[in-house]
A and B are shown apart, each in its own frame.
Chain A
């Protein structure tokens, strides 16, 4: 028989418990600015879609790389999106990179090699700002990871990139867009006003594999390429994970059996 005080306390604790659960559930998972998309690299067995990565690289090379650096990547790492050695050498050789000094003590330029980092479009931050109305185009090496939503259920960085690239619209009535700025639904960081002009149009690139280069397709492909660039070891991580969990399930099962056996004398 519980006393009145105990019943009151039980009710209070239950009420606060329910309130706490409701508070936890209020955690925002998705925003209407950045809707969730399906990507091949999600889930337990998720892997990158190689053709999409290669198309995404085409978009990066022909469009994004005009303003955005990708300083953490080297050409050799393009093996990760399925390019062979010759293709990588050929891609690297298309840029001139500074080197030296040579045995005359002079600096010189040479064609890029696979071990070179992706060549940046501007020599320094000041040059980048000067060419872009004072705005600095961010480095894209980690853009997918740095724009992901927070938490276990947060959106992927790819969702954000896709939403941003397809998010250019006319401003809603009453909103004035500042000079040299553009209205973008997904750009909540800057109150929807972004310095980057709409970078992609239908057919702004031509895909080698013949896929129609719609704006939507390009945005989807480059979002996947940039996700790969942020997390190039994702596939290996998933493979390790599956093996680790399978091993642990068996080992833990054995440990449980052993524990039962040991404890059978006590129980």
Chain B
């Protein structure tokens, strides 16, 4: 822990506040598995996005006016008159989508390689808490421009809480600060939108501490056993993360500079109007799978419970999947079910995007509205049915498939160590084949 520093000032400070020792420890003494692949880049990317959102958000807050009469125009003033305001706002607006892309990849990586398994259960659960906080923050942030979709999205989502018996209506009144979505709602959402990111920073710090207790999981999913398995974080993973950041920023730039509004809803460029409901109220893309689950269940309360349950189930995931093997590389059946689950999430996302009465014509590659479907011929699948099957499969994956796999799956033999990933008998078999 105690590193020797040459610089006397550094030494003087470090003796009183061991900040340099800490950094030295994190960079050179913290050992990371040598075999992490590029899917492990998304953790540092998520941290980058959190910082980017806070910096741009503070800048926007200096120009934004949280008042239902002024909010829309204050955002447009940022877009038109504030120097580089359009850039700041587009970085923030697309940043929300980028943040969710990064976090979803980060989570699917955890699911694939079993990063939620002992001893990292708590690390995983803290991640789920971060996701929940992010969802709340993103939802409230989307309300701030006070466009049509802001207003009606806020109305639909806050109304969901009214499904809970007895306390439901009280919660809704508290969220609204009145009896409808109005100026008090906007004000409290703004306050919370500024507050919650710092709560996320706090939980991220805990996530980081929990990570450094046992170190990163790795693609093989076995523990590090000795010096042949690990390398210092710096310069190996700092250089790899920096390269990954560059690739990610190019991807981000393409959206930001050439399709900055493609991920949003055009209706949000119409000022909020409580007297006119948009034809089709949809949340932002990153909420669509949950929205599809909500709409798949006819009973409102059950729908709301299923929607929240779809995230909360991740909290108990380490106890649903009891297979001792972490990585999907050595779990042939799990690996296939994992990809089925990924497809299921994509299907849910798309089902959430379209009106509930639309249908899918798979052979003519069309989504048909209710009116069109009546006159169409050939195979027509109503999206409600697809959504229900996909919702069932989402929960079945966690509550049926994973527990059964834990018992019945025949896993493949694990390598002896990370530094020596090929088993001796495999090497022998390879030599004989040659």
A residues near B (Cβ < 8 Å) are 2, 5-6, 9-10, 12-13, 16-17, 19-20, 22-28, 44, 72, 77, 138, 141-142, 145-152, 154, 157, 189, 230, 232-233, 236-238, 240-242, 244-245, 248-249, 251-252, 255-256, 258-259, 262-263, 266
Contacts of A255 in B (CB 8 A): 239, 242-243, 245-246
Is there contact, CB below 8 Å, between B243 and A259?
yes
The answer to whether A237 and B260 touch (CB under 8 A), given A6-B333, A17-B343, A263-B240, is yes
> Which has the most chain B C-beta neighbours within 10 Å: A146, A151, A241?
A146
Is there contact, CB below 8 Å, between A245 and B250?
yes
Contacts of B266 in A (CB 8 A): 145-150, 154, 157
The answer to whether A27 and B350 touch (CB under 8 A), given A13-B340, A44-B258, A252-B243, is yes
Interface residue tally on B, bucketed by range: 35 or more
The B331-348 residues at the A interface (CB cut-off 8 A) are 332-333, 336-337, 339-340, 343-344, 346-347
Does any Cβ of A come within 8 Å of B201's Cβ?
Answer: no
Contacts of A249 in B (CB 8 A): 250
Contacts of A12 in B (CB 8 A): 336, 340
Pick the contact of B259: A146, A152, A245 (CB < 8 A).
Answer: A152
Pick the contact of B362: A19, A233, A256 (CB < 8 A).
Answer: A19
Is there contact, CB below 8 Å, between B257 and A237?
yes
The B240-279 residues at the A interface (CB cut-off 8 A) are 240, 242-243, 245-247, 249-250, 253-254, 256-263, 265-270, 279
Q: Residue of A at shortest CB range from B409?
A: A5
Is there contact, CB below 8 Å, between A16 and B257?
no
Does any Cβ of A come within 8 Å of B76's Cβ?
Answer: yes
Please name 30 pairs of A and B residues whose Cβ atoms are closer than 8 Å in the assembled complex, sorted by A: A5-B333, A9-B333, A9-B336, A13-B336, A13-B339, A19-B343, A23-B360, A27-B350, A28-B367, A138-B270, A141-B76, A145-B261, A149-B266, A150-B265, A232-B80, A237-B257, A240-B87, A245-B257, A248-B253, A252-B243, A252-B247, A255-B239, A255-B242, A258-B239, A258-B243, A259-B240, A259-B243, A263-B236, A263-B240, A266-B34
The answer to whether A142 and B270 touch (CB under 8 A), given A26-B367, A237-B260, A248-B250, is yes
Is there contact, CB below 8 Å, between A26 and B258?
no
The answer to whether A241 and B235 touch (CB under 8 A), given A10-B336, A142-B76, A259-B242, is no
Does any Cβ of A come within 8 Å of B73's Cβ?
Answer: yes
Does any Cβ of A come within 8 Å of B365's Cβ?
Answer: yes
Contacts of A259 in B (CB 8 A): 239-240, 242-243
Does any Cβ of A come within 8 Å of B287's Cβ?
Answer: no
The answer to whether A23 and B34 touch (CB under 8 A), given A147-B266, A244-B257, is no
Is there contact, CB below 8 Å, between A27 and B367?
yes
Nearest 4 A-B pairs (CB), nearest first?
A241-B257, A252-B246, A146-B269, A9-B336
Majority DSSP secondary structure for residues of B touching A: helix
Shortest CB-to-CB span from A5 to chain B, Å, is 7
Contacts of B346 in A (CB 8 A): 20, 23-24
Does any Cβ of A come within 8 Å of B86's Cβ?
Answer: yes
Once the chains are docked, how many angstroms separate the CA of A42 from the CA of B25? 51
Shortest CB-to-CB span from A264 to chain B, Å, is 11
Contacts of B236 in A (CB 8 A): 262-263, 266
Is there contact, CB below 8 Å, between B258 and A238?
yes
Once the chains are docked, how many angstroms separate the CA of A248 from the CA of B333? 41
The B349-392 residues at the A interface (CB cut-off 8 A) are 350, 360-362, 365-367
Is there contact, CB below 8 Å, between B258 and A262?
no
Shortest CB-to-CB span from B235 to chain A, Å, is 5
Pick the contact of A77: B80, B87, B256 (CB < 8 A).
Answer: B80
Q: Residue of B at shortest CB range from A5?
A: B333
Is there contact, CB below 8 Å, between A151 and B242?
no
Contacts of B253 in A (CB 8 A): 241, 244-245, 248
Shortest CB-to-CB span from A232 to chain B, Å, is 6
Once the chains are docked, how many angstroms separate the CA of A262 from the CA of B234? 10
The answer to whether A238 and B247 touch (CB under 8 A), given A19-B362, A142-B269, A262-B235, is no
Once the chains are docked, how many angstroms separate the CA of A9 from the CA of B366? 28
Does any Cβ of A come within 8 Å of B52's Cβ?
Answer: no
Once the chains are docked, how many angstroms separate the CA of A127 from the CA of B15? 75
Contacts of A9 in B (CB 8 A): 333, 336-337
Once the chains are docked, how many angstroms separate the CA of A242 from the CA of B245? 18
The B67-109 residues at the A interface (CB cut-off 8 A) are 73, 76, 79-80, 86-87, 90
Is there contact, CB below 8 Å, between A72 and B80?
yes
Once the chains are docked, how many angstroms separate the CA of A237 from the CA of B344? 37
Shortest CB-to-CB span from A160 to chain B, Å, is 9
Does any Cβ of A come within 8 Å of B231's Cβ?
Answer: yes
Shortest CB-to-CB span from A68 to chain B, Å, is 14
Is there contact, CB below 8 Å, between B270 and A146?
yes
Is there contact, CB below 8 Å, between B243 and A237?
no
Once the chains are docked, how many angstroms separate the CA of A9 from the CA of B245? 36
Q: Residue of B at shortest CB range from A16?
A: B343
Shortest CB-to-CB span from A175 to chain B, Å, is 14
Contacts of B332 in A (CB 8 A): 2, 6
Pick the contact of A248: B246, B279, B337, B365 (CB < 8 A).
Answer: B246
Shortest CB-to-CB span from A33 to chain B, Å, is 12
Contacts A77-B80, A146-B269, A152-B259 supplied; 9 other A-B pairs, CB < 8 Å: A23-B362, A72-B73, A146-B270, A148-B261, A150-B262, A189-B279, A245-B254, A249-B250, A252-B243
Contacts of A245 in B (CB 8 A): 250, 253-254, 257
Contacts of B86 in A (CB 8 A): 233, 236-237
Contacts of B76 in A (CB 8 A): 72, 141-142
Shortest CB-to-CB span from B169 to chain A, Å, is 33
Contacts of A251 in B (CB 8 A): 246
